[in-house]
Amino acid sequence: MLELEVVPERSLSNEYWEVVLGMTFSHVVQSIQQQINRIKNVQVLYNEKNPLKADLVIKMCEDGIQLRFDPVSQRLKIIEVNNLNKVKLKYCSIVFCSPEIPPTIEQIDHTFGATHPGEYDASHQLFILSFRGLSFSFPVDPRFQPNYTQGMESFHFPLGTSPTVAKMCIYSGNNLAETKPPSLPLSNFYNHCYLDKLEVLREKNKTVGVKLHLISEALGSNKLRELRKQTVTKVLSLGDTVQDVCSAIGSPNKVFYKADDKMKIHLPNSHKLITYSSSDYFYNFFTLGMDILFDARIHRVKKFILHTNYPGHYDFNIYLRCNLSIDINCTNKENKSETLTITTFTKWDSVKHKLIKLSVLPVVLNRTSTNTTNPFGSTFSFGFEDMIFEVMPNNHIASVTLYQKPIYSQETI
């Protein structure tokens, strides 16, 4: 049984493990994985068809805890304890929930002190007692009619039948129904840069680079004092050198060398393309939701790959979400020029008719590896100018690849 400290409007934690409001989904998963001997039977719940319509949830089945993430920002929004028989909880070192101490109304009042009168939810037959950033839900027999001005004290329970807490929620602000996830806690930056948003730079219907709006710890932050964050803007261009990239956004989280290129079969005269002993390589920036491909011969950027990190995709939770924006000049039905903006949250079926002729078929992409299978099925890649849009079966864009159109040599292999 986990023994956890409750910090209203902030966290649930113990000496080994902590979840803080505002943490990314990836950070929380990593923290759970590090406690594999203490935390078991964990499930991830999401809306497969409409992943932006419902919270992304981590359910800790054996501990009675649910962690709710905002589906857009993918940051922790609500910490729920919906089975208080499975955990031991304390506040300011005072235990208020354990096998020996049931979390009754009197116990909550003794531990947390006075607050405003609660609210009665008639549809669920619950009485909700709220503090700032913290609420407790008590099941109430409908035979007991509350006095809304007097709160919980207006209920008259038979001797020995005082209800216990059915659910506890930790959240930001005063209103659970309107709560939003706070920004990423500075204590979780771990000396990494994080992406606020990314703009794709285009000139004359041609991609030239990307502009990154980054968030990081402020230089000179004293970790013994309050941490500070800073925002910076960096521009990366197709054709930049490795040194250009590293000086702008730092070292990658990982470097990956391409063993082969299976998509080469779709290029004209692919059998005539020169092969080289060296291999192109990726710089993986997981916290930015981006990969950068470098040419093995000249060590310059030839591709940017931007990941939207939707649940139900093979690469989900490898990258943080890239909040991208692309402005594309296109022609509408009246043959008038217009600017079409595609973002991380744009559904493909709302824009594809403006970009691609209906006769153009996508490339079907099915990701697998030697040791794993892909339970999520295939995705579809659509090419437009110098961009490739990878689209999931639910019409959400999984990734966008930006590249320089190559000039092929006539030499044979």
In the structure encoding, which two tokens stand for residue 51, read together?
A: 């992943």
Distance CA 25, CA 36 (A): 17
Contact 301/236 with Cβ under 8 angstroms?
yes
Q: Give the residue among 339, 342, 358 at the shortest CA–CA distance from 350.
A: 342
Contacts of 87 (CB under 8 A, 6+ apart): 1, 2, 3, 4, 63, 64, 65, 81, 97
Q: What's the order of all strands across the beta sheet hosting 65-69?
A: 42-45, 56-60, 65-69, 76-81, 167-170, 134-139, 126-131, 119-121
Name the amino acid, one letter, at 257.
Y
- State residue 410's pLDDT score: 43
Q: Which residue has the tokens 């922790």?
A: 76
Contacts of 161 (CB under 8 A, 6+ apart): none
Distance CA 223, CA 185 (A): 13
Output the pTM of the full model.
0.88
Distance CA 109, CA 220 (A): 44
- State residue 260's pLDDT score: 58
- The one-digit pLDDT tens for each residue of the chain (413 residues) are 899 999 999 999 999 999 999 999 999 999 999 999 999 999 999 999 999 999 999 999 999 999 999 999 999 999 999 999 999 999 998 999 999 999 998 899 889 987 777 787 777 788 888 999 999 998 877 665 555 445 455 555 555 567 889 999 999 999 999 999 999 988 888 778 999 999 999 998 899 999 999 998 876 655 555 567 889 999 999 999 999 999 999 999 999 998 755 555 555 655 555 555 578 999 999 999 999 999 999 999 999 999 999 999 999 999 999 999 999 988 777 777 889 999 999 999 999 888 876 557 889 988 776 666 777 889 999 999 999 999 999 999 999 999 987 655 444 33
Helix (H) or strand (E) holding 25: helix 25-33
CA 249: distance to chain centroid?
A: 21
In the structure encoding, which two tokens stand for residue 337, read together?
A: 């020029």
SS3 content of the chain, % helix, strand, coil (to 5): 15, 35, 50
* DSSP 8-state secondary structure symbol assigned to residue 278: S
Distance CA 104, CA 111 (A): 11
Contact 146/154 with Cβ under 8 angstroms?
yes
Name the amino acid, one letter, at 217.
E
- Torsion over CA of 368, 374, 380 and 386, rounded to 10 degrees? -50
Distance CA 269, CA 273 (A): 7
User: Taking the CB of residue 353, how many other CB atoms lie within 10 A of it?
Assistant: 10
- State residue 26's pLDDT score: 95
- State residue 149's pLDDT score: 45
